[in-house]
Structure 1
């Protein structure tokens, strides 16, 4: 039976605050701060367990090999002198699996298989190195070629940042849906990371019906305000589009275009007078997991920062007091991720599939969760100061911790 599975990235043992991501205001604001990889990974695992307890299927991906043994060598760089390149080689940004790939469920595609295209992530050098190792995991987790099709990334001429700029609307997850691709245009103070041609290429590769595929321009003002991906200002689930009033370049036209393909659309729009664009970005109100619970109720899983903002919490209270489609708001603590610019939605990749067709080593249950928690508490570094990146003793502890994780999960192929 087809169901939505959220695959979260386990936060890697090299999690640090090097401030590498231009346009990501949280990451640049915390550049140089001491990070806490153990706490970060345990927070991410706690979010996964929280969703499991709600009755939601949950999967995971493991951290990529870090420090990347080939990155500096290919650049002819020295870890002790090229500090920015060294930080890139240590980046744990693969934890944000919303950027791992774009996923089109089987009911939407021409051949009736779930299609996945790894994101090339070429706009940011520290992320552009990710896709080969990400593709290896995707190929393992979704190896059943009768049910899944894995593509090469879009050529690097066109930046593609994956599911963070992709939404799907449907009557039910296992039924046909309408896929919405959101792209940016260059020219603002920060890079527009998702290119229109990359989105159109993914739609063609996945065999999507043009009548059920929508392309929308992101608001340049949103990108300039720090919404470097669409999922910082809009998220969709089922019939519902939950969006800030300044999410798209032409908000009314965007709604009309989606409604033309999906007449059942329900828009929950937060006006700027209630929550400014700046406050939406600061709290990551829209970088939430909008999910349908087993009993049919729709819930919004938000970062705890939302409950600490008077404007955001007031708006959420008013929403719940009404008769709208979102009936529950559930805060989670992912502060270590948030300080690097990633909320609950950044940490997960949605895949609609029959769990029986997925490699079970990538599916979470309480037994797996207990083992992961014990390992992380024992093996992950407690803290990392960015000045320590490149030191041999820290590198060895990070490599050893990841290998121990692979051993526990019996994923030796990824070693």
Structure 2
């Protein structure tokens, strides 16, 4: 690899993938509560998307799932006995808590962390801050585990700097890259960092949603920018439109996505759209052309955007230099959204291709293609410093499919979460995956 590239690190769906409806404000998650999930299909849908992007020439890697159920959390809450006894007690007394510690939500690695490339940081190193995900209990237990996992994969201190998750609590609620976009003329050039937030926690008079929670705070975004030593002139903090949060846009990546010199967003994405676009253009400068593709409500309503996850797509740069948009099957099934996409790829923008993938197992829990990946920009030397076998190629994809066939159930209902065998199966899956990728996961 001779140049700086953006690598999509997709999350592997864990063996406890289920539909417990834990995420208030996520319309799909709440709407599919108590449905029967298919963990094996879920992980294979993710693998198929990863391999397809690899075949398109997009650098592709994966992050292992976190071990679930997280029995350590239950022991910290006063439950004792053997693992089976602990699970049995919690199942009888607090089934919602049991669902929380079984959640496979680490599959959505857009929420795993915020990363900044070495080109953007004053010390010339790649920075990672694992998200604290403070707004939802089932996700808030991920931060320390995610941080430890990132340190194992990006282990070389010559190149990588890791920051602990921000302090828990509503004031510094951080949801990771789902509310962060980096624009750049090329991946190795200094980028323009866009942090989008839902509320100002220390300013009670600032606009805020009325129905659903705003999960990302301005204070958290500012803290990460400081930790990552970002250039203030190339870093913007942008308020999200609270009205669209109340319509189910729980993260900015449900209504906006960026890549290279393209920002693709709905006209209602930001609280002050005109001011926001002017700020972005000023910070971008005149050296290279910037494309801000604004989708009007007449073309695609917010409701259609949320139902189809049009903006929770991946924008990727192909080896040809053109961009492709990677969308879920729900976009193809929505006539208004599909008509818009067919028109988009004919216009004078870098987006010239659209690829559709079936990720319905993730979509039913409120996560589209963009939720499943963390974008990591690395130079050739930084890429070579990663010793873990986490990069997708023709060999490892076969190993991962066989691993899923051996360790994942075809069906899992919420009532199955009390089964002590599920924990044993998850543990065996972790151990086997650790052998594949050369990481001590457990």
Give TM class, smaller chain.
over 0.9
Counterpart of 1:347 in structure 2 is 372
The alpha carbon displacement at 1:410 in A equals 2.6
Matched, 1:72 2:100: no
Counterpart of 2:134 in structure 1 is 122
The alpha carbon displacement at 1:271 in A equals 0.5
The CA distance in 1 between the partners of 2:261 and 2:415, in whole Å, is 47
What per-residue deviation string (whole Å, max 9, x for no partner) do you get for residues 5-62 of structure 1? Answer: 1100000000000000000000000000000000000000000001100111111111
Determine which of 23, 41, 50 is the counterpart of 1:48.
50
Counterpart of 1:374 in structure 2 is 402
The CA distance in 1 between the partners of 2:385 and 2:6, in whole Å, is 13
**Structure 1, unaligned runs of 5 or more:** none
- Provide TM-score, normalisation by structure 2: 0.92
Counterpart of 2:37 in structure 1 is 35
The CA distance in 1 between the partners of 2:32 and 2:430, in whole Å, is 25
Contact 2:132 2:140 in 1 (8 A): yes
The CA distance in 2 between the partners of 1:62 and 1:318, in whole Å, is 37
Counterpart of 1:316 in structure 2 is 341
What per-residue deviation string (whole Å, max 9, x for no partner) do you get for residues 278-314 of structure 1? Answer: 1101100000110111110111001111011010001
Equivalent residues in 2 for 1:177-326, closer than 5 Å: 177-185=191-199, 186-263=208-285, 264-326=289-351
Equivalent residues in 2 for 1:151-166, closer than 5 Å: 151-157=163-169, 158-166=172-180
Equivalent residues in 2 for 1:85-164, closer than 5 Å: 85-157=97-169, 158-164=172-178
The CA distance in 2 between the partners of 1:139 and 1:366, in whole Å, is 26
Counterpart of 1:169 in structure 2 is 183
The CA distance in 1 between the partners of 2:260 and 2:378, in whole Å, is 16
Counterpart of 2:205 in structure 1 is none
**Structure 2, unaligned runs of 5 or more:** 80-88, 200-207
Contact 1:136 1:414 in 2 (8 A): no
What per-residue deviation string (whole Å, max 9, x for no partner) do you get for residues 160-198 of structure 1? Answer: 000000001100011111100000024421110001000
The CA distance in 1 between the partners of 2:41 and 2:162, in whole Å, is 33
Alignment RMSD: 1.1
Contact 1:117 1:150 in 2 (8 A): yes
What per-residue deviation string (whole Å, max 9, x for no partner) do you get for residues 49-101 of structure 1? Answer: 01100111111111101110211121235322211100011010000000000
The CA distance in 1 between the partners of 2:385 and 2:273, in whole Å, is 39
The alpha carbon displacement at 1:340 in A equals 0.4
The alpha carbon displacement at 1:252 in A equals 1.1
The CA distance in 2 between the partners of 1:149 and 1:333, in whole Å, is 35
The CA distance in 2 between the partners of 1:67 and 1:156, in whole Å, is 21
Instruction: Name the count of aligned residue pairs.
Output: 414
Q: Matched residue of 1:258: which SS?
A: helix
The CA distance in 2 between the partners of 1:9 and 1:99, in whole Å, is 10
The CA distance in 2 between the partners of 1:140 and 1:406, in whole Å, is 12
- Provide TM-score, normalisation by structure 1: 0.98
The CA distance in 2 between the partners of 1:215 and 1:359, in whole Å, is 35
Q: Matched residue of 2:193: which SS?
A: strand
The CA distance in 2 between the partners of 1:271 and 1:120, in whole Å, is 33
What per-residue deviation string (whole Å, max 9, x for no partner) do you get for residues 111-134 of structure 1? Answer: 011111000001000000001111
Contact 2:127 2:163 in 1 (8 A): yes
